[in-house]
């Protein structure tokens, strides 16, 4: 893979990555760590999604124009 460099893959706990990716990483000597379940503090992308969910949660939108 990448010679002379340490590679660490940080994985969330989705099933898509699951066993196939873990097996590939192990076979190729790549270290990996799992994020704890629901750890928004470790995943910067969670912040904007949380804000958007709060804004949209209690509203009903009947068409795309009302979303913008």
Q: pLDDT for 17-50, tens place per residue?
A: 678 888 898 998 889 988 777 777 777 777 888 8
* Phi, psi (rounded to 5 degrees) for 60: -110, 125
Residue 13 pLDDT > 70: yes
* Confidence band for 3, pLDDT divided at 50, 70 and 90: low
Give the C-alpha separation, 11 to 13, whole Å.
6
Residue 7: per-residue pLDDT: 81
* Confidence band for 1, pLDDT divided at 50, 70 and 90: low
Give the C-alpha separation, 32 to 20, whole Å.
13
Give the C-alpha separation, 41 to 47, whole Å.
8
Residue 17: per-residue pLDDT: 60
């Amino acid at each position: 893979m990448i010679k002379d460099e340490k590679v660490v893959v940080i994985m969330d706990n989705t099933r898509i990555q699951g066993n196939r990716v873990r097996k590939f990483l192990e076979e190729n000597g790549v270290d990996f760590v799992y994020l704890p379940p629901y750890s928004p503090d470790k995943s910067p992308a969670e912040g904007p999604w949380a804000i958007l969910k709060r804004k949209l949660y209690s509203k009903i939108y009947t068409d795309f124009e009302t979303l913008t």
